[in-house]
Chains A and B, each alone.
Chain A
């Protein structure tokens, strides 16, 4: 007789909780499984990740969600990348687009040709060769296509969304599919005295909820994974020293941009996330270098529209749990670890955790090798994001500001050191095909942070200079024309997914 998991208890609503509930409801749709989510309206949610990366479309597709309906509901806008402002020198900016730069010639990646042209002074901006980059800066957006011959197949997109509404949207989806929602605050956790597994949670009302598998979506608290199971935490704040954030919503004063803005400030950076209805703002900072009050004031000074909410202060420690799955408890979302939202990876890490839970779905034996494998794979995901984030900070050129001086001089992980050395010396991007961020993502940030390779691939010289100039000019013209011909971002929103917002200006 096979001993299957029958009862899954998700503790905590919010983005992580409802994403988990929705996905499990989608795949465990028979009466043999019971999925129960416990949340309390009295406990606020952080509302992580209002900005996303393209992988979210895959998650929504797997759930069978209609994109336009989802966008209307969550007041979402399209996103083609992230603009980093002031990360090198104060007035510099660059965009990390979701798409390719140029295309390979003779099997040699495009950026080697660009390096040669750059060295010869023939071209300055690699942005000229990215359609996503061009469209974003011209405030354009059209949906990409799948025709590999078309320039419109060379980019991807994600969304800016209202995370609270996304949780609500998924809550509707999940409850329609049979997920049971229970309102209540958890008072106690009960464990099996022999193996330490969680057997039930007890609510303030005294009611007990038993389960076979528990998903901890309780945010930073880690009520199950840490407070109960004492899993331990790896602190990465020596590499990513920001430990506070303050968030405020404000009015939109112009049409939403199809990209997120990440603006470097004295002791961290400020986000601006444009939704259809409003602007999300926040300042991620290091408390060693700025006080909460000063950070709040700095944020207020840099918000163009009227503020709509009181400041929401958050404290965090960058890092991850030693195990993201411990015994019969899986941590999803902020309970599993925290990496600042500089590259909008929070929702991506949630969806990856959920999909890996489904591929590693256990039975009542909770085989340790399955658990180890899940932890191995999720740890890799965290590590990949960590290195990518460190790159942004470490390669800054902001002289004379203590926070930035520290980031520039701090030691970095060997894995990143190797990647950087390789790119700086020879222009080769270490293979990252199976990672969250692939070649062109790394390229955008390398070049954006002014890491220009000293050498290009020797085979670049196989193409005569005049022929290469011609080819590069052609590419540039194609990108420019395609972006010029594209529709404005707000027009695409109007056509496909305009949200019904009360009081919207005409």
Chain B
């Protein structure tokens, strides 16, 4: 095994993702003779706007040795307990998607089915029964246990992105990650399409066993050359073996305002890259509030990949792990979740030279599944926000739902059921928050709920409300909690 170990790992890009990957892999591979180099390319500096990190980032922070206290102190961080989604238009629905589950299921029956049996189901299910929502509304917050995973209030973090990146980079340096600055890079490929070396400024060249492309100035995904050629103007079709071309978007994709396509060709395999404008997006997260308000959705660019198949981010020995590898509308912080999940998958499927092909296939399969699940959820949100009724979104979402999403929405409509697996990437309560929050109530509850005594159910509901109230009242004031933590 020692002979086939990927000893030379190169990360392209001084992005947040690049540093994430560098620090994480350096920690995992610590005692092994592996060199991790991050190549910093000239790119736009991150401003210190606030970004939102979902709960799944806690494990990453723990692994590389960053505490919550450090994040609060050094990245001017705060907490959030879910995401509020709303359209710019005032007459459209808005709803809160909490990170934690809400209510209490009863045997075979989902909580919302029980509420419907009690004639108590309304669009305000989250407002009434989500501890996350109540704590957010009351401006309270606490971590009752040091084990973040067992906390009944699953929380995300809000951090200033430049400070946060610096913090992670510091950890990466401590873990012996090398950083090389270069104005440009050239990839050297072997005949079988593997990247063998990266050439940087001043004749520096670094051999490569595994390359993680974390450049964040473009979007990368791998497609067959013929797919790309069908989209690009024929005279601009890529021909060089290792070139980059920037082309304007073709008409099929003119719903991306100000966008363009870049094509990077490695050994005849075209990697299509979108450059999308999202300057108008604003997260609106504030350090001193546990809310995450996300607005301006209809000004966001959304990377919907039509007429082409997503192969997955890992081709040969190159993994595209950047925020734009798959472009999600930033209406929910899935990118980080996707990225962290991909990083965890990579640690499970860390290749040797011999296992590169088979591990990449499995990695891509997992990414494709996750991608499909996220796409479904986005479509659901778009539909729930009725964005498809707005002029700028016309034609993008209508009639384009996957069979799986169609099936689930119909299934929900009959008796409030959903077919989602327990380890599904988007959790069941997220679906329920969106569906019910946007007024899509089931026609009927589970028929067997008639068997249960209505008064007993009502009493249980009252007990649940009382327990929630008691819990909420014990939570400290959010600002006081932050101050104490930072002390």
Residues of A within 8 A of B365 (CB): 418
Pick the contact of B447: A29, A363, A457 (CB < 8 A): A363
Q: Is B470 an interface residue (CB 8 A)?
A: no
Is B417 touching A27 in the complex (CB atoms < 8 A)? no
Residues of B within 8 A of A362 (CB): 447
Pick the contact of B6: A360, A434, A458 (CB < 8 A): A458
Question: Do A454 and B354 contact each other (CB < 8 Å), given the known contacts A5-B447, A370-B415?
Answer: yes
Is A460 touching B421 in the complex (CB atoms < 8 A)? no
Is A462 touching B447 in the complex (CB atoms < 8 A)? no
Interfacial residues of chain A within 93-133, with CB under 8 A of chain B in the complex: 107, 116
Q: Is A358 an interface residue (CB 8 A)?
A: yes
Bitwise interface map of B from 377 to 390 toward A, beta carbon under 8 Å scored 1, else 0: 00000000000000
Residues of B within 8 A of A462 (CB): 28-32
Pick the contact of B349: A361, A363, A421, A428 (CB < 8 A): A428
Q: Is A377 an interface residue (CB 8 A)?
A: yes
Is B447 touching A359 in the complex (CB atoms < 8 A)? no
A451 to B: closest C-beta gap in Å: 14
Question: Do A361 and B446 contact each other (CB < 8 Å), given the known contacts A29-B451, A434-B422, A462-B29?
Answer: yes
Question: How many Å lie between the Cα of A363 and that of B444 in the bound state?
Answer: 10
Q: Is A204 an interface residue (CB 8 A)?
A: no
Question: How many Å lie between the Cα of A431 and that of B425 in the bound state?
Answer: 14
Is A373 touching B447 in the complex (CB atoms < 8 A)? no
Is A430 touching B362 in the complex (CB atoms < 8 A)? yes
Pick the contact of A4: B350, B419, B421, B447 (CB < 8 A): B447
Q: Is A383 an interface residue (CB 8 A)?
A: no
Is B419 touching A459 in the complex (CB atoms < 8 A)? no
Of the candidate stretches B280-288, B329-337, B406-414, the one touching chain A is B406-414
Residues of A within 8 A of B446 (CB): 361
Question: How many Å lie between the Cα of A93 and that of B411 in the bound state?
Answer: 47
Is B417 touching A360 in the complex (CB atoms < 8 A)? yes
Q: How many chain B residues have a CB neighbour from A under 8 Å?
A: 43
Is A376 touching B29 in the complex (CB atoms < 8 A)? no
A295 to B: closest C-beta gap in Å: 40
B60 to A: closest C-beta gap in Å: 13
* Nearest-CB residue, chain B, relative to A109: B348
Q: Of A116, A362, A369, which is in contact with the most chain B CB atoms at under 10 Å from its CB?
A: A369
Q: Is A456 an interface residue (CB 8 A)?
A: yes
Residues of B within 8 A of A434 (CB): 421-423
B210 to A: closest C-beta gap in Å: 11
Q: Is A28 an interface residue (CB 8 A)?
A: yes
Residues of A within 8 A of B450 (CB): 4, 30, 32
Question: How many Å lie between the Cα of A362 and that of B422 in the bound state?
Answer: 23
B455 to A: closest C-beta gap in Å: 14
Is B32 touching A458 in the complex (CB atoms < 8 A)? yes
Residues of A within 8 A of B352 (CB): 426, 455, 458
* Nearest-CB residue, chain A, relative to B2: A461
Is B444 touching A370 in the complex (CB atoms < 8 A)? no
Pick the contact of B350: A33, A363, A422, A458 (CB < 8 A): A458
Is B411 touching A373 in the complex (CB atoms < 8 A)? yes
Pick the contact of B29: A107, A418, A458 (CB < 8 A): A458
Give 15 new A-B contacts, CB below 8 A, not counting A454-B354, A461-B32.
A2-B444, A361-B446, A362-B447, A369-B411, A369-B414, A376-B407, A377-B419, A421-B358, A426-B358, A428-B348, A428-B362, A456-B1, A458-B352, A459-B347, A461-B5
Chain A residues with CB under 8 Å of chain B are 2, 4-5, 27-30, 32-33, 107, 116, 358-363, 367, 369-370, 372-373, 376-377, 418, 421-422, 425-426, 428, 430-431, 433-434, 454-462
* 26 A-B contact pairs sorted by A residue (CB < 8 Å): A2-B444, A2-B447, A4-B447, A4-B450, A28-B448, A29-B451, A32-B451, A116-B1, A358-B108, A361-B447, A369-B407, A369-B411, A373-B411, A421-B358, A422-B359, A425-B354, A425-B355, A426-B358, A428-B348, A433-B423, A455-B1, A458-B350, A458-B352, A459-B347, A460-B1, A462-B32
